[in-house]
């Protein structure tokens, strides 16, 4: 099944319908759906689809490319060079509209260092004379951004567009499990990180509990070893990467804290963190309105599946491997609600973008804030601040994924916490609750034009 990706398909079709040569790199985290997007796009179109193989030799990949060009006919000549293969593609492109796809392009490019330069020469000297479409797809974010699209790349300036494919939004993720309740759909969204491959594993004819146990707490399940498999695919020596991820997952967020937990030199840790940032497994955060390089910089797990796995599976791998997954799940089930707190913050920010045109003003940025509040003389956190610097406007957000309703005191506390932000002359307060609001909170908000109370069931 193929869900969503309407904007990406529209971009690809627009490029395809141009009566000129077009070149679109597509990149994103593994399992995010790059191949499925391309397959959906090229359906009923003339296309050559070649998937490069990791750690295969240049010759092996050329053999696979040759078969792709000749539509997997076994009795075909094997091109002896990439240039010869491109000559064959150029001959076909002169006859009819053609899409040429190299999926997992970084694998192919790494098998022979001249591949990118050869491709650049063929674009400039031959492909530009056709109306063919070239798509290079890759899971290595750093390679695609630097070696394909970067200023130093021979391919720089040749692309006519690009797509960075992100995880699904909540609205699309829900389509994978339409028969589950909205609450359970949110949990599925959270524990899968909204990655299409993982979403497709969940069966909405089963309960949420049966799905989570079946996909994570069974030693034979797909997701039980997924993080290990991904790290092995991405990195030559995954052990230290795993140590860094574990440190972040267990509460170390600043560089010095991560370094202390891992027990390596700061320069080594910084290098490995850079690679993890490039894969999208972790993210770097600074408080809203702080500048790059802020001393408050922290690192968090970006990927929801990794967050869930390292919080609940990693400490219990041995037990699950001994078929004790049922016992482990029964012990941690009550903690899933707490895990969903960060997921709900993400959903609330997604909702702010979803309702962007209906908000009191058009914000420029939105992100979390944390730091010292001199008025309260304490460290505080604000789930998000959406702000417009030019007009000195801000929306302060509070997101509560709890079993109890938000009361009037919580609303007042949010207002009190934000008094320190004197720069904003116009302030609005948006409070989101999974369980609703008390009558006192509703009455209080009704008297204030700048307070919005939003229940999860009313979102999206």
Query: Domain check: are 100 and 182 in the same one?
Result: no
pLDDT over 70 at 73, yes or no: no
Question: Residue 297 sits in a domain of what CATH number?
Answer: 1.10.10.10
Domain finish residue from 337, 371, 404: 337
Query: Domain check: are 185 and 103 in the same one?
Result: no
Query: Domain check: are 83 and 141 in the same one?
Result: yes
Query: Domain check: are 216 and 232 in the same one?
Result: yes
> What is the pTM for the complete model shown?
0.92
Distant-in-sequence, close-in-space partners of 78: CB < 8 Å, separation ≥ 6: 62, 63, 66
Q: Is the residue at 342 inside a domain?
A: no
pLDDT band for 77, please (50, 70, 90 cuts): confident
Question: Residue 433 sits in a domain of what CATH number?
Answer: 3.40.1350.10
Distances (CA, A) of 259 to 237, 294, 325, 450: 18, 18, 32, 44
Residue given tokens 């070893």 in the structure block: 225
Query: Domain check: are 187 and 320 in the same one?
Result: yes
- The tens digit of pLDDT for each residue in 113-162 reads 999 999 999 999 999 999 999 999 999 888 999 999 999 999 999 999 99
The C-alpha atoms of residue 346 and residue 194 are separated, in whole angstroms, by: 12
Domain finish residue from 145, 164, 183: 164
pLDDT at 74: 65
Whether the CB-CB separation of 119 and 155 falls below 8 Å is answered with yes
pLDDT at 235: 86
Return the percent helix, strand and coil in the chain, to nearest 5: 50, 15, 35
Query: Domain check: are 59 and 160 in the same one?
Result: yes
pLDDT at 72: 60
pLDDT over 70 at 324, yes or no: yes
Distances (CA, A) of 162 to 342, 364, 398: 30, 23, 35
Q: Is the residue at 176 inside a domain?
A: yes
| Arithmetic mean of pLDDT, 91-100 | 96
The C-alpha atoms of residue 358 and residue 204 are separated, in whole angstroms, by: 33
pLDDT over 70 at 103, yes or no: yes
Query: Domain check: are 142 and 12 in the same one?
Result: yes
pLDDT at 236: 80
Q: Is the residue at 350 inside a domain?
A: no
Percent of the chain with pLDDT over 90: 90
Domain finish residue from 132, 149, 164: 164
Count up the domains in the chain and report the number. Answer: 3
Q: Is the residue at 1 inside a domain?
A: no
The C-alpha atoms of residue 198 and residue 120 are separated, in whole angstroms, by: 36
- Helix (H) / strand (E) element for 192: namely helix 182-192
Q: Which domain holds residue 87?
A: 6-164
Query: Domain check: are 108 and 142 in the same one?
Result: yes
pLDDT at 436: 97
| Arithmetic mean of pLDDT, 435-448 | 97
Q: Is the residue at 347 inside a domain?
A: no
Question: Residue 108 sits in a domain of what CATH number?
Answer: 3.40.50.300
Query: 390 or 429, which is more confident?
Result: 429
| Arithmetic mean of pLDDT, 321-338 | 96
Query: Domain check: are 369 and 300 in the same one?
Result: no
Whether the CB-CB separation of 189 and 167 falls below 8 Å is answered with no
> Of 258, 277, 274, whose CA–CA distance to 266 is shortest?
258
Q: Is the residue at 317 inside a domain?
A: yes
Query: Domain check: are 102 and 63 in the same one?
Result: yes
pLDDT at 62: 95
Q: Is the residue at 348 inside a domain?
A: no
Q: Is the residue at 289 inside a domain?
A: yes
pLDDT at 311: 94
Query: Domain check: are 158 and 177 in the same one?
Result: no
Average pLDDT, the chain: 95
Show the 3-state SS of the chain.
CCCCCHHHHHHHHHHHHCCCCEEEEEECCCCCCHHHHHHHHHCCCCEEEEECCCCCCHHHHHHHHHHHHCCCCCCCCCCCCHHHHHHHHHHHHCCCCCEEEEECHHHHHHHCCCHHHHHHHHHHHCHHHCCCEEEEEECCHHHHHHHHCCCCCCCCCCCCCCEECCCCCHHHHHHHCCCCCHHHHHHHHHHHCCCHHHHCCCCCCCCHHHHHHHHHCCCCCHHHHHHHHHHHHHCCCHHHHHHHHHHHHCCCCCHHHHHHHHCCCHHHHHHHHHHHHHHCCEEEECCCCCCCCCCCCEEEECCHHHHHHHHHHHHHHHHHHCCCHHHHHHHHHHHHHHHHHHHHHHHHHHHHHHCHHHCCCCCCEEEEEEEEECCCCEEEEEEEEEEECCCCEEEEEEEECCCCCECHHHHHHHHHHHHHCCCCCEEEEEEEECCCECHHHHHHHHCCCCEEEEEHHHCC
pLDDT at 131: 96
pLDDT at 179: 97
Whether the CB-CB separation of 450 and 428 falls below 8 Å is answered with yes
Q: Alpha-carbon torsion 36, 37, 40, 41, what sign?
A: negative
Query: Domain check: are 183 and 291 in the same one?
Result: yes
- The tens digit of pLDDT for each residue in 363-379 reads 999 999 999 998 888 99
pLDDT at 403: 94
């Amino acid at each position: 099944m193929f869900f969503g990706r309407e904007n990406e398909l529209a971009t690809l079709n627009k490029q395809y319908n141009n009566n000129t040569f077009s070149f679109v790199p597509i990149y994103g985290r593994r399992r995010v759906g790059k191949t499925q997007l391309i397959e959906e796009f090229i359906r009923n179109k003339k296309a050559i689809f070649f998937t490069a193989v990791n750690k295969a030799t240049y010759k092996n990949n050329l053999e696979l490319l040759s078969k792709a060009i000749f539509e997997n006919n076994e009795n075909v000549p094997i091109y002896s060079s990439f240039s010869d293969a491109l000559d064959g593609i150029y001959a076909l492109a002169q006859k009819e509209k053609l899409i040429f796809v190299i999926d997992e392009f970084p694998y192919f490019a790494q098998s022979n260092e001249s591949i990118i330069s050869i491709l650049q020469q063929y674009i400039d000297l031959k492909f530009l004379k056709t109306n063919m479409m070239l798509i290079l797809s890759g899971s290595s974010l750093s390679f695609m951004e630097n070696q394909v699209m970067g200023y130093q790349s021979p391919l720089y300036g040749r692309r006519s567009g690009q797509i960075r494919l992100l995880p699904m939004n909540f609205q699309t993720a829900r389509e994978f499990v339409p028969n589950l309740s909205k609450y359970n759909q949110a949990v599925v969204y959270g524990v899968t990180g909204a990655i299409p491959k993982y979403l497709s594993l969940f069966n909405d004819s089963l309960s949420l509990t049966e799905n989570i146990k079946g996909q994570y707490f069974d030693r034979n399940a797909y997701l039980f070893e997924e993080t290990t498999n991904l790290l092995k695919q991405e990195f030559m020596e995954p052990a230290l990467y795993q140590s860094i991820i574990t440190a972040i997952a267990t509460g170390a967020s600043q560089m010095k804290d991560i370094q202390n937990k891992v027990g390596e030199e700061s320069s080594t840790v910084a290098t490995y963190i850079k690679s993890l940032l490039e894969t999208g497994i972790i993210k770097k955060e600074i408080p809203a309105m702080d500048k790059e390089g802020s001393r408050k910089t922290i690192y968090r797990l970006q990927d929801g599946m990794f967050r869930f796995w390292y919080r609940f599976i990693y400490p219990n791998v041995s037990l699950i491997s001994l078929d004790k997954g049922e016992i482990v799940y029964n012990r941690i089930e009550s903690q899933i609600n707490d895990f969903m707190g960060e997921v709900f913050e993400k959903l609330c920010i997604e909702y702010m973008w979803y309702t962007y045109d209906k908000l009191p003003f058009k914000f420029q940025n939105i992100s979390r804030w944390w730091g010292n509040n001199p008025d309260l003389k304490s460290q505080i956190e604000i789930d998000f601040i959406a702000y417009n610097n030019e007009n000195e406007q801000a929306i302060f957000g509070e997101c509560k994924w709890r079993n109890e309703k938000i009361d009037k005191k919580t609303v007042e506390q949010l207002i009190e916490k934000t008094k320190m932000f004197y720069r904003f002359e116009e302030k609005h307060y948006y409070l989101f609750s999974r369980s609703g609001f008390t009558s006192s909170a509703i009455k209080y908000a009704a008297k204030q034009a700048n307070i919005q109370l939003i229940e999860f069931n009313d979102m999206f």
